[in-house]
Structure 1
Amino acid sequence: MILILADAFDSHVDAVEIYLRQSGSEFSRLNLDVESLRQTSISFDGDIWVFSQNGIETSSADISCVWARRLTVSLTLEQQNLKEDVTSKIWRAEWNRCLYGLYAHLRDIFWMNPIAAASLADNKYFQFQVAKSQGFLLPPILSSNSKIDLLKFAERSESVAVKFMSQDIYMMPNGEFKGVYVNKIDKDDLSEFGGHDENPITLQKYIRKSYEVRHTYVDGSHFSCKIESQLSSRASIDWRRYDVPNTPHSAIASPPEVIRRINSIMSKLGLYYGAFDFIVDDDDRWWYLEVNSSGQWLWIEDLVGLPISARVAESLAQRSIVRN
């Protein structure tokens, strides 16, 4: 049986479940959002874990494969910005401890992706080192809270962008939720930077783009999408600002050397799924930006028809059979 760790709002899991049902694969979905867990029972007798959600009971003895889209209690943006009382904090903390007890019990079966490997891989500083060791071009970067060092880096680069190493969503004073994106800055912007009391920021040399690529790796299979972000004034610096009507997407074939390096990176990181972002410059050189061990893909599938959900389902089904 495949165990899917998600929340009730995960449309990516919904898409994969369609293919799992079509293939007759047995799976159990454990949603980790607060509302779902408040209607979930779980027990551990020292040998076996048993949990029940939505009227479906699952035993750890039957699980042969895990797909981890979520690991801990999943809070909505509104819940994240509410002041938690002591009872809520204890409830969430005990659930998380219990969940990790279940995960430890299942540590010897197949995971997409293994917890420790995904945690390390999502550290961008670490993955930069791995990507560089495999021969990828990386834009020069500097992470620092030294104003002098930041100014020197900006002076050496024709153009720089500030890159956030975390991808959180924040609630603004007016109640709106906003993400943080890559932005071009100049020396004048850095003049407002305080000093050592500031948090470190990351500057990256800005690479002139011809287009961008989202390359999705699924257990040995490759799906590459060209994103023509330079045709949109809103998405030209960071396509995650999503101006889809003005940003053409199309399926492409990544160069064999890029595929070889991606295979090597995924092997070294110990991952079976990863969403890679690249810049392709005017000289057709591919610049590595990052890999996300749980990156989204559904918008690409909808726009260009790449069968990513089907491949995720196929991989989970095959891995589950091997472990049975």
Structure 2
Amino acid sequence: MLVATEYEDPTADLVITELNRRRVPVLRFDPGRDFPDSCVLTARLSPDGWGGQLHVGERTADPGSIRSLYHRRPSTYTPNRDDQAARFIAQENRRGLGGILSSLPGCLYLSHPQAIARAEYKPAQLAVAIREGLSVPTTLITSDPAEAKSFVSEQPTIYKPMHAGAYDIDREPAGIWASSVDPGKVDDAVRHCAHLFQAQVPKVFNVRAVVVGERIFCARITSPPGVIDWRAEYRNLTYEPIQCPDDMRRTLVRFLAHFGLNFGAFDFAVTTDERWWFLECNANGQWAWLEDAAGLPITTAIADLLENGENNA
């Protein structure tokens, strides 16, 4: 079994510890950082698919015998210097080792890296959510300042980025949280890129639903009054487990199946009428803190799926 993630990943550590307890052989590495310095690949194609050897330090795995791969949060394949040769090497590594890891015969992926990449596009998520019958706030994606101002003037509105990339303020890492939009502050800067605006849902609490295969674990997240994005108030949140409605369970499983995913961390806003409003799905979202905070056995579910290649609901 392979676990592909960055060097310091306490979430992956939980799963690896559980797999070690079960005596399941695990090889952990960071493809984008380890290859080719401390990782050597030899892969040969046969009618049965790719086989050969993947050496990481003193450990070796046969790509043709890998039963499952936990694609957690590995580093990207990046050049180690700014020149044409280094950029070429990085791209060859991504397509070479990355291509092998994406085409392992008989391997269960949690989840497949290409499926994760497809699911990262929020416009695609929202379209699938609507198709599957989920409630989705009225949404506008635009680079037109006039359209943005008109939309924001029609109802209470929030803005949120479509990608949670790295962002620094005064050389310190920061997050761009969902926030309310003042119509008077919508200006010509909207022209610089696509912006996502949504009608603000009058929520009473949030739900994070973590789906592992077909097993679903939900936590109610209650934040202080007036807080739009609960991620900005971690120290002031309360958690409790909550049941997922049966029709919602089926919908979430279908949603993941559309993208070919075996994992998803869904975020919902819940209103007084108990209506769950879909906000987004993170195909590789965080979940470890919820295990203790809400008593959700997510580590066990992930280990079950990786070990057995099936759901043990």
TM-score by length of 2: 0.89
Deviation at 1:21, TM superposition (A): 1.4
Other structure's SS at 2:167 match: strand
Deviation at 1:114, TM superposition (A): 2.4
Residues 155-211 of structure 1: CA distance to partner in whole angstroms, max 9, x if unpaired?
Answer: 221x10111111101233x32111211110121111x23464x21111110111100
Letter in 2 for 1:165: M
Structure-2 change in CA distance of 1:4 and 1:320 (3 Å):
farther
Does 2:62 align with 1:59? yes
Q: 1:178 aligns with which of 126, 149, 174?
A: 174
Other structure's SS at 2:188 match: coil
Structure-2 change in CA distance of 1:83 and 1:193 (3 Å):
farther
- Contact 1:72/1:96 (8 A) holds in 2: no
Aligned to 2:145: 147
Deviation at 1:252, TM superposition (A): 1.1
Aligned to 2:309: 319
Letter in 2 for 1:309: T
Aligned to 2:198: 204
Structure-2 change in CA distance of 1:83 and 1:140 (3 Å):
farther
Is 307-316 or 259-268 further displaced after alignment?
Answer: 259-268
Aligned to 2:7: 8
- Contact 1:8/1:33 (8 A) holds in 2: no
Distance across 2 between alignment mates of 1:121 and 1:73: 17
Distance across 2 between alignment mates of 1:71 and 1:304: 27
Distance across 1 between alignment mates of 2:82 and 2:3: 28
Q: 1:216 aligns with which of 198, 207, 210?
A: 210
Other structure's SS at 1:207 match: coil
- Contact 2:32/2:94 (8 A) holds in 1: no
- Contact 2:64/2:105 (8 A) holds in 1: no
Aligned to 1:238: 229
Aligned pairs for 1:40-189 within 5 A: 40-46=39-45, 48-70=51-73, 73=76, 84-86=82-84, 88-106=86-104, 108-157=106-155, 159-172=156-169, 174-189=170-185
Does 2:188 align with 1:193? yes
Distance across 2 between alignment mates of 1:200 and 1:245: 32
TM-score by length of 1: 0.86
Deviation at 1:11, TM superposition (A): 1.3
Deviation at 1:87, TM superposition (A): 5.5
Structure-2 change in CA distance of 1:240 and 1:85 (3 Å):
farther
Distance across 2 between alignment mates of 1:320 and 1:49: 26
Aligned to 2:26: 27
- Contact 1:43/1:51 (8 A) holds in 2: yes
Aligned to 1:300: 290
- Contact 2:77/2:93 (8 A) holds in 1: no
Distance across 2 between alignment mates of 1:34 and 1:263: 33
Other structure's SS at 2:207 match: strand
- Which consecutive residues of structure 2, in runs of 5 or more, have no partner in the other structure? none
Deviation at 1:85, TM superposition (A): 4.7
Distance across 1 between alignment mates of 2:165 and 2:143: 20
Deviation at 1:282, TM superposition (A): 2.1
Distance across 2 between alignment mates of 1:320 and 1:3: 17
Number of aligned pairs?
Answer: 307
Other structure's SS at 1:294 match: coil
Aligned to 2:38: 39
Deviation at 1:307, TM superposition (A): 0.8
Is 48-57 or 37-46 further displaced after alignment?
Answer: 37-46
Distance across 1 between alignment mates of 2:102 and 2:265: 26
Deviation at 1:39, TM superposition (A): 2.0
- Contact 2:102/2:114 (8 A) holds in 1: no
CA RMSD of aligned residues (A): 2.4
Does 2:251 align with 1:261? yes
Deviation at 1:274, TM superposition (A): 0.4
Distance across 1 between alignment mates of 2:195 and 2:102: 35
Deviation at 1:41, TM superposition (A): 2.1
